[in-house]
Structure 1
């Protein structure tokens, strides 16, 4: 058992094999749907969430874990004598980091580090995976923290949504407000910058938008290999598969540190909406 325990939140929606093999724990955010409160990825899984969403009379909302929930999880690992690296969704998108910081303060624990990933979904995953791998090899908490920060500084997420209405409704639209009211046949390309969602541009069709994301990806990566790559989507398997196939045409298997595929969790789906597809990547420099 490694000395450092890496904790992420459910918005990462990291495939189970990574959770198990790298000894990562997950704290769920909440989906509030009418009178029901669900733990993201525990009580409510993507298949059921996206099946129910189109016919819902009341739209779901979300909330972060409470400081008390973080304290309970932290206390479990502190009792085992472990240090904790807690890596979470951008503080510009959620109050999750704030809850974690409050929990650390209440526990007066110097061996807990909370890091704002400045991303979400698989953009956060790369930081957690790199830190957890280092922890398994005996790295200290300080070393794991620096590794996560280095990955963070080299991470990018570009994504497409079927409609901006979900981002607008949830207040997560950020700098993409400029694209509201665009013609229906224009597809916005969005990205995450300094923890916020910003508009990169817009093209006329989904196919052209996907091709543009691949072009951006190739230009940004250049010769900085090997790389982390993650493709995540909400009810957009064909577009996700197209991205994967195009990347595999252009890169060798040895060019990837990790190539991860995942659905978007119900919490992220609440704000991004069905039809979203994202390309997440991180270089080592």
Structure 2
């Protein structure tokens, strides 16, 4: 009997055990230092990436999987008689979904559905989990697609970046802004709005204070939470992420608060010691 397989790309940042449990197919993006390209999460880990940035003094470039990468990943599922829904990194940030669409055209019509998440990191991951649960409940490909489309604008994704260094290396702030920001201990708050990353605020002060602000921003939605899952996502900040997770478990009705680590692509943009909270709110 055919089934529906859910695929995503490596920027969904779902923990490996969830990927295995639900047989979620992952197509990695690439990080490139000079002439050397590495598959995100396959050939390079975030810790290795941070070490390499420290060593070389510059950030890697990132690249989408090619249509050929998608064809290679999709083919076994299609040959097994399964249909596929792919949920990928926002088209405002990457050509990943466009390349997935090109690949889908190589297979019989209607077998592969591609959905732009309009999000990143576990903002994608929460949509992937919604799709998986719907597939496991026996919903059709069209029904699953509609569930994801109805949910994607209700995903709240917010990160606090610990240092301006990576924004500076990535050309997103000047040397002067980086210098002044470091002196004043300014930590940017990045949100995802309309599929794009925006600078929502600049918090000044001790790290504990800024993390408390992140938590309060999430708790603003605690009466509007949809579904069972919240994600606390971090880059090399596991201890603090665990503390944030415990607070959210205590202060919300969420049945599950995931602890997730950003992959290489997301880490290369946000830098180490970043902490984020991702949740899905209802339509009210």
Q: Same fold (TM over 0.5)?
A: yes
Residues 39-74 of structure 1 deviation map (CA, whole Å, 9 limit, x = unaligned): 110111223223333223453221110011112222
1:168 positional shift? 5.3
* Partner of residue 276, structure 2: 278
Residues 72-107 of structure 1 deviation map (CA, whole Å, 9 limit, x = unaligned): 222222111111100011111111111111112343
Structure 1 residues 199, 132: CA separation in 2 closer, same or farther (over 3 Å shift)?
same
Structure 2: how far apart are the matches of 1:88 and 1:258? Answer: 23
Residues 122-172 of structure 1 deviation map (CA, whole Å, 9 limit, x = unaligned): 11111111111111221110111112223312211111112344345446x
* Contact 2:12/2:125 (8 A) holds in 1: yes
* Partner of residue 241, structure 2: 240
* Partner of residue 223, structure 2: 222
Structure 2: how far apart are the matches of 1:180 and 1:146? Answer: 43
Structure 2: how far apart are the matches of 1:47 and 1:165? Answer: 16
Structure 1 residues 242, 66: CA separation in 2 closer, same or farther (over 3 Å shift)?
same
Residues 177-233 of structure 1 deviation map (CA, whole Å, 9 limit, x = unaligned): 9x9566332222111001111122122122222111111111123253554211111
* Partner of residue 148, structure 1: 148
Residues 216-270 of structure 1 deviation map (CA, whole Å, 9 limit, x = unaligned): 111123253554211111112233133223223313xxx2243211111011111
Paired residue secondary structure (2:87): strand
Paired residue secondary structure (2:201): strand
Q: Which structure 2 residues correspond to residues 177-196 of structure 1 after superposition, within 5 A?
A: 183-184=181-182, 185-196=185-196
Structure 1 residues 157, 223: CA separation in 2 closer, same or farther (over 3 Å shift)?
closer
* Partner of residue 115, structure 1: 115
* Partner of residue 43, structure 1: 43
TM-score by length of 2: 0.89
Structure 2: how far apart are the matches of 1:223 and 1:99? Answer: 35
1:23 positional shift? 1.6
Structure 1: how far apart are the matches of 2:56 and 2:216? Answer: 37
Farther off after superposition, 43-52 or 62-71? 43-52
Aligned residues: 278
* Partner of residue 79, structure 1: 79
The gaps in structure 1 that reach 5 residues or longer are: none
Structure 1 residues 111, 168: CA separation in 2 closer, same or farther (over 3 Å shift)?
farther
* Contact 1:169/1:271 (8 A) holds in 2: no
Is residue 99 from structure 1 mapped to residue 102 from structure 2 by the alignment? Answer: no
Q: CA RMSD in A?
A: 2.3
Structure 2: how far apart are the matches of 1:225 and 1:145? Answer: 18
* Partner of residue 266, structure 1: 264
* Partner of residue 138, structure 2: 138
Structure 1: how far apart are the matches of 2:62 and 2:170? Answer: 9
Structure 1 residues 133, 249: CA separation in 2 closer, same or farther (over 3 Å shift)?
closer
* Contact 1:229/1:282 (8 A) holds in 2: yes
Residues 21-40 of structure 1 deviation map (CA, whole Å, 9 limit, x = unaligned): 21211001111123321111
